[in-house]
């Protein structure tokens, strides 16, 4: 079965610092992969999705970027974090016609 | 513009009663519809999905889809305190690889 690993689970970063969140998928090949963000009290916002290695679609213009260097690896990055980047970041992958989530990463920008 | 709308709640339902959660979406050509449950501080977990008009039952859960009205709902029978969570509706459109979520409805089951 498909398993999505995501790390780190929590982090506190100062404004202006860089960010790297990593996601890996086990149990499937060539999955569609997604990064969502959930701000406090708000819904899931789709940030990026990828249908294959090196293929990234951005949904929301912002200071974040994503990369997919390997089939089962999806990375979310920022060169300089803003306070508004705080939130719960979720990596997801598809299996069949549904998507399943990793455990999430809590980011607090201070 | 593809949007998924849900009442944010909270929806309070007595234990043992039926909880009814609703979701509307803005664009035709939709293909697949999903309901996720999210406990506070946790990632969403899939409850069920539905593709065709009508009802789909899975245990205490029933999803209802009406594509003509652009409406999908989730019924939870014999509600339990453990059902207290936020319920997220999600939609996948034809020829599109992304899945859009509503903001979720908070459900509170009263013991």
A101 touches chain B (CB under 8 A): yes
Residue B104, both tokens: 């979720």
Q: CA angle, B13 as apex, B7 and B18 as ends, to 5°?
A: 95
Residue B27 has pLDDT above 80, yes or no: no
- Alpha carbons A48 and B101: distance in angstroms, whole number: 14
What pLDDT is stored for residue A61 in this prediction? 67
Task: Locate the chain A residue with the closest alpha carbon to B7.
Answer: A43
**Bridge partners for A23 per DSSP:** A6, A74
A96 touches chain B (CB under 8 A): no
In this complex, do A43 and B42 lie within 8 Å of one another by their Cβ atoms?
no
B51 touches chain A (CB under 8 A): yes
Closest CA to B78 of B20, B27, B17: B17
User: pLDDT tens for residues B62-76?
Assistant: 999 999 899 999 999
What pLDDT is stored for residue A29 in this prediction? 85
What pLDDT is stored for residue A27 in this prediction? 86
User: pLDDT tens for residues A1-33?
Assistant: 779 999 999 999 999 999 999 999 998 888 999
In this complex, do A98 and B101 lie within 8 Å of one another by their Cβ atoms?
no
Residue A39 has pLDDT above 90, yes or no: no
User: pLDDT tens for residues A45-97?
Assistant: 999 999 999 999 988 867 899 999 999 999 999 999 999 999 999 999 987 77
Which of A43, A90, A97 is opposite residue B49, by nearest beta carbon? Answer: A97
Question: Torsions phi, psi of B6, nearest 5?
Answer: -140, 150
Closest CA to A43 of B13, B9, B52: B9
């Amino acid at each position: 079965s498909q398993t999505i690993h995501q790390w780190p689970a929590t982090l506190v970063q100062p404004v202006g610092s860089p960010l790297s969140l990593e996601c890996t998928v086990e149990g499937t090949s060539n999955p569609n992969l997604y990064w969502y963000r959930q701000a406090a009290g708000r819904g899931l916002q789709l940030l990026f999705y990828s249908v294959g290695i090196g293929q990234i679609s951005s949904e929301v213009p912002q200071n974040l970027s994503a990369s997919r260097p390997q089939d089962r690896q999806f990375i979310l990055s920022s060169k300089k974090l803003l306070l508004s980047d705080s939130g719960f970041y979720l990596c997801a992958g598809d299996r069949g016609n549904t998507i399943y989530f990793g455990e999430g990463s809590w980011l607090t920008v201070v | 513009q593809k949007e998924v709308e849900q009442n944010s709640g909270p929806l309070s339902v007595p234990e043992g009663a039926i909880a009814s959660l609703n979701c509307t979406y803005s664009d035709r050509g939709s293909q697949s519809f999903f309901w996720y449950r999210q406990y506070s501080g946790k990632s969403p977990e899939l409850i069920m999905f539905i593709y065709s008009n009508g009802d789909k039952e899975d245990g205490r859960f029933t999803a209802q889809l009406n594509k003509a009205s652009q409406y999908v709902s989730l019924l939870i029978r014999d509600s339990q305190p453990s059902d207290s969570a936020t319920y997220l509706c999600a939609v996948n459109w034809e020829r599109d690889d992304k899945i859009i979520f509503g903001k979720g409805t908070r459900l509170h089951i009263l013991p």
